C-alpha cells in the first residue's frame, strides 16, 4: 500500500523503512520499463534557488515519463526574487500546481512552504538535507549487493547535507555507516543523534576523524565536494584540512576488495576523489546519477497517489 500519497518529503526521516523499501521496489520496476497510471493533467513545479543538473533534469524527465508536465519556477523571474513572502507564494502556487520540488539554502524555507501549501512539497536539496539523492544512492547500493541490511558504508569528507540524509537513510534501512570528517567540519550533532536513535542496534551510525577507520571493511565508499554550494569562498582554506579524506586508490585499498564507490556529483577531480577512482572499476557514479530518475519517478508517483 502507498502511504506517501499527499505527504511532504522534507527529510529522509519523513519516510519509514517500509516506505523507503516500497519506493525502491517501485523505482526498480520503473527502471525495467514498467508503466503505471498516468499523471496527465498534473503539474510539477521546480523552485530552485541553487544550480542543478541532475535533480532538475531527472525530476523533469520523471514527471514527463509519468505523463505529467513541469514548470521551472526560477525565483529570479518570479516575485519571490523581489521579496514576496514565502507564505504568500506557497498559497498561490498551491492553487496551480500538484507537487512542488524546492532547492534552496535554509531548511526552514521548505518547512514554511510545506506548512502553507496543501500539495506535497519535496526537498530537492537544502543546506541541511538531500533526501532525493539518498533514495537514488540506496537504489544503487541495492543493485550491487541486494539486501541493504548489515552492509557497511563509509562517508568521507564534509559533514554536509548529503552526509545528513545518508546518516538518516542508512539508519532506517540498517546499513552501518561511519562518517569521517575533519574536526572542523562535523555533521550536525542533532541529526547524528537522530540517526543513532533510528538505527537498529547492530547497525550503528558513527562519526570519526579517522578516514582509515571509516573505510575498514566498507563495502560502499562515498564522498561529496569539500565546499558545498554557497561555501565556494572557503574552498582554498578547506582543501588542506580535507586532504586526508580524499578517496584515492591507496585509501580504497583499505576497504573491502568488492567495495563500490559513490559520489552524488558534481565531482571535483583531484580534490575529494581522484580521476582514477572516479573512472575506475569500482565506481558506480553514473548508475547512481541515472538512479535519480527512477527513484524520483517512484517518489512522484507515490506522493501524487498514482500508485
Question: Under the rule (CB under 6 A), what is the footprint of ligand NVA?
Answer: 125, 160-162, 224-225, 228-229, 264
Residue closer to ligand NVA, measured from CB, 31 or 128: 128
Residue closer to ligand CP, measured from CB, 112 or 133: 133
Residue closer to ligand NVA, measured from CB, 68 or 182: 182
Q: How distant, in Å, are the alpha carbons of 142, 147, 160, 187 from that of 138? A: 6, 10, 18, 20
Residues involved in catalysis: 103, 130, 133, 224, 264, 292
Residue showing the smallest CB distance to ligand CP in the complex: 55
Residue closer to ligand CP, measured from CB, 52 or 144: 52
State the nearest-atom distance from the C-beta of 129 to ligand NVA, in Å. 10
Query: Judging by DSSP bridges, how do beta strands 260-263 and 205-208 pair with one another?
Result: unpaired
Buried b (16+ CB within 10 A) or exposed e, 50-77: eebebbbebbbebbebbebebeebebee
Best CA proximity match to 296, nearest among 23, 87, 19, 5: 23
What residue 225 binds from ligand CP, ligand NVA, none (CB within 5 to 8 A, per partner kind)? ligand NVA
State the nearest-atom distance from the C-beta of 22 to ligand NVA, in Å. 25
What DSSP designation does 186 have? Answer: P
CA atoms within 13 A on the CB side of 246: 19
What residue 307 binds from ligand NVA, ligand CP, none (CB within 5 to 8 A, per partner kind)? none
Query: Judging by DSSP bridges, how do beta strands 43-48 and 69-72 pair with one another?
Result: parallel
Q: What is the binding site for ligand CP (CB under 6 A)?
A: 52-55, 125, 133, 264-265
Q: Give the SS3 label for residue 170.
A: helix
State the nearest-atom distance from the C-beta of 231 to ligand CP, in Å. 14
State the nearest-atom distance from the C-beta of 184 to ligand CP, in Å. 24
The phi, psi pair for 196, rounded to 5°, reads -65, -35
What residue 161 binds from ligand CP, ligand NVA, none (CB within 5 to 8 A, per partner kind)? ligand NVA
Q: Give the SS3 label for residue 146.
A: coil
Which is it for the CA torsion 127, 132, 138, 144, positive or negative? negative
Question: How many helices (DSSP H) and strands (DSSP E) are in the chain?
Answer: 12, 9
State the nearest-atom distance from the C-beta of 264 to ligand CP, in Å. 4
Q: For residue 160, what is its C-alpha cell? A: 554536509
Residue showing the smallest CB distance to ligand NVA in the complex: 228
What residue 53 binds from ligand NVA, ligand CP, none (CB within 5 to 8 A, per partner kind)? ligand CP
Residue closer to ligand CP, measured from CB, 224 or 256: 224
Amino acid at each position: 500500500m502507498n502511504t506517501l500519497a499527499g505527504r511532504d518529503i522534507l527529510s529522509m526521516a519523513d519516510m519509514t523503512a517500509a516506505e523507503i523499501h516500497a519506493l525502491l521496489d517501485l523505482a526498480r520496476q520503473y527502471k525495467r520499463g514498467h508503466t503505471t497510471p498516468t499523471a496527465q493533467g498534473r503539474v510539477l513545479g521546480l523552485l530552485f534557488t541553487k544550480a542543478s543538473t541532475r535533480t532538475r533534469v531527472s525530476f523533469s524527465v520523471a514527471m514527463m515519463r509519468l505523463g505529467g508536465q513541469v514548470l521551472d519556477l526560477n525565483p529570479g523571474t518570479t516575485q519571490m526574487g523581489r521579496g514576496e513572502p514565502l507564505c504568500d507564494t506557497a498559497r498561490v502556487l498551491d492553487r496551480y500546481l500538484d507537487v512542488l520540488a524546492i532547492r534552496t539554502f535554509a531548511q526552514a524555507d521548505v518547512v514554511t512552504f510545506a506548512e502553507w501549501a496543501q500539495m506535497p512539497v519535496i526537498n530537492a536539496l537544502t543546506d541541511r538535507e538531500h533526501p532525493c539523492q539518498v533514495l537514488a544512492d540506496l537504489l544503487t547500493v541495492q543493485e550491487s549487493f541486494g539486501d541493504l541490511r548489515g552492509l557497511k558504508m563509509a562517508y568521507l569528507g564534509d559533514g554536509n547535507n548529503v552526509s545528513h540524509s545518508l546518516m538518516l537513510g542508512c539508519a532506517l534501512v540498517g546499513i552501518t555507516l561511519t562518517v569521517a570528517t575533519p574536526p572542523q567540519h562535523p555533521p550536525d550533532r542533532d541529526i547524528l543523534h537522530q540517526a543513532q536513535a533510528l538505527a537498529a542496534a547492530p547497525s550503528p551510525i558513527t562519526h570519526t576523524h579517522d578516514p582509515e577507520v571509516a573505510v575498514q571493511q566498507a563495502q560502499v565508499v562515498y564522498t561529496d565536494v569539500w565546499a558545498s554550494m554557497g561555501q565556494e569562498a572557503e574552498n582554498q582554506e578547506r582543501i588542506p584540512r580535507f586532504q586526508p579524506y580524499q578517496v584515492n586508490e591507496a585509501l580504497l585499498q583499505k576497504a573491502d576488495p568488492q567495495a563500490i564507490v559513490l559520489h552524488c556529483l558534481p565531482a571535483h577531480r583531484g580534490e575529494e576523489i581522484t580521476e582514477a577512482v572516479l573512472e575506475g572499476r569500482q565506481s558506480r557514479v553514473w548508475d547512481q546519477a541515472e538512479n535519480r530518475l527512477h527513484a524520483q519517478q517512484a517518489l512522484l508517483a507515490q506522493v501524487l497517489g498514482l500508485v
